[in-house]
Amino acid sequence: SAVISQKPSRDICQRGTSLTIQCQVDSQVTMMFWYRQQPGQSLTLIATANQGSEATYESGFVIDKFPISRPNLTFSTLTVSNMSPEDSSIYLCSVELGRGTGELFFGEGSRLTVL
């Protein structure tokens, strides 16, 4: 597997502000993903973070709201912009190790509460 570190682990944010979540992996990985887990819900894919190019967003998620960077094969950021209480969720970074197994490994998540 891989060691996936996310920062911050949790934060309380004010409405209208933006917050950037960082994801650091201890090895180079081909595929990185960002998921959202709303309270008491399952995981929903936000986007695939592509190294050196724009992220690929799922239906219902847009770049202006969730800009993503992936400057190299071990690091990515997700920004949650102009937050509202509906953005209160756990945001999870996930990686696929390039073995073609389809197995994803997850960071511990970043729990955001928007007041």
Residues in contact with other proteins by the rule CB under 8 A: 1, 4, 31, 33, 41-45, 48, 56, 58, 92, 94, 96, 101-109, 111
Rounded to whole angstroms, how far apart are CA atoms 100 and 21?
27
* Residue 63 C-beta: closest distance to other proteins, Å: 16
Between 87 and 96, CB nearer to other proteins: 96
**Beta-sheet pairing, 68-72 with 75-80:** antiparallel
CB 9 within 8 A of CB 69: no
* Residue 16 C-beta: closest distance to other proteins, Å: 27
Query: At a CB cut-off of 8 Å and minimum separation 6, what does 11 contact?
Result: 19, 110, 111, 112, 113
Amino acid letter for position 47: A
Between 75 and 105, CB nearer to other proteins: 105
Between 36 and 114, CB nearer to other proteins: 36
Between 10 and 15, CB nearer to other proteins: 10
Backbone angles phi, psi at 106, to 5 degrees: -120, 150
* Residue 28 C-beta: closest distance to other proteins, Å: 15
* Residue 64 C-beta: closest distance to other proteins, Å: 20
